Amino acid sequence: MSKVILITGTSSGLGVSIAVQAAKAGHTVYATMRNLAKRDTLDAAASAAGVSLKVLALDVQDDDSVTAAVDEIIQAEGRIDTLINNAGAGFVRTTEQASLDDINWVMDVNFTGVVRCTKAVIPHMRKARAGHVVTISSVGGLVGQPFNEIYCAAKFAVEGYTEALACYVTPNFGIHFTTVEPGGIQSEFAANVMKHVQETGGMLEDEYLPILQKYVAGAQARADGSDIYQTADQVAEVVMQCVEAAEPPAKMAAGGK
């Protein structure tokens, strides 16, 4: 059955792959992003795949933006069957190095943004007694990782939030909740993380620097010449399996070889 699917964070990477695969499967896809000036990658991918997408502005950090996008879809379609919370941002800084503004930003994008979007669609799904909220979490939401403690904290919060909703909303109102947990993905995500580091002072010359350099070198060595990282298309295939499952699981691993 064709579904009305709302996806956040579709300007690049995994969001593009999910949007295209969902449209190819015959669903009505509302692909959203904060800045519509960055839709070129999405448009090119949709054109290459021969699919049509409905593209809207939606900033997960802005209550009014989220509400406006959801209201527009409801007015046009009468329902939202599936929300895919994909928008997110990585962060590499130690607790000592991170400013409170940094920490608030990471939590707002990766956790509160998920809450905003979920909060906006639940009333419509509850009225329909049906719906599915899929949130892209991370292995970092299951296991703490060096230099990623703030990001991991946000993803751990996503996991707890989703589990709590599933334990009472699902049995009473028929709305399913799933976290999909990828490992490393070959996409622009890591590049954007490093771009943010450079924009906020670069690698800091302190006692953590040699530890970070060793960590980064080890990660690079594991990645070079291997298929340790999944492609965005491979993770999107897992997401689509979840979307189309008759009884979607509460958690779905999508990463790691």
The pLDDT of residue 41: 96
Tell whether 11 is covered by a domain.
yes
Number of domains comprising the chain: 1
Q: Which residues are catalytic?
A: 151
Distance from the first to the final alpha carbon of the chain: 32
Average pLDDT, the chain: 89
214: confidence class by pLDDT, cuts 50, 70, 90:
confident
Tell whether 256 is covered by a domain.
no
Which of the pair, 115 or 182, is modelled with greater confidence? Answer: 115
Tell whether 48 is covered by a domain.
yes
Is pTM beyond 0.85? Reply is: yes
Kindly report, residue by residue over 182-202, the tens digit of the pLDDT.
876 655 445 555 565 666 666
Q: Which residue segment(s) compose the domain that 169 sits in?
A: 4-249
The pLDDT of residue 29: 98
211: confidence class by pLDDT, cuts 50, 70, 90:
confident
Tell whether 190 is covered by a domain.
yes
Tell whether 82 is covered by a domain.
yes
CA distance 40 to 7: 17
Q: Are 177 and 165 in contact, with CB atoms under 8 Å apart?
A: yes
Tell whether 233 is covered by a domain.
yes
Kindly report, residue by residue over 42-93, the tens digit of the pLDDT.
999 999 999 999 999 999 999 999 999 999 999 999 999 999 999 998 888 8
The pLDDT of residue 189: 47
The pLDDT of residue 43: 98
Task: State mean pLDDT over 147-173.
Answer: 95
Backbone φ/ψ region at 199: left (φ over 0), alpha (ψ -120 to 50), beta: alpha
Q: Say which CATH number the domain at 114 has.
A: 3.40.50.720
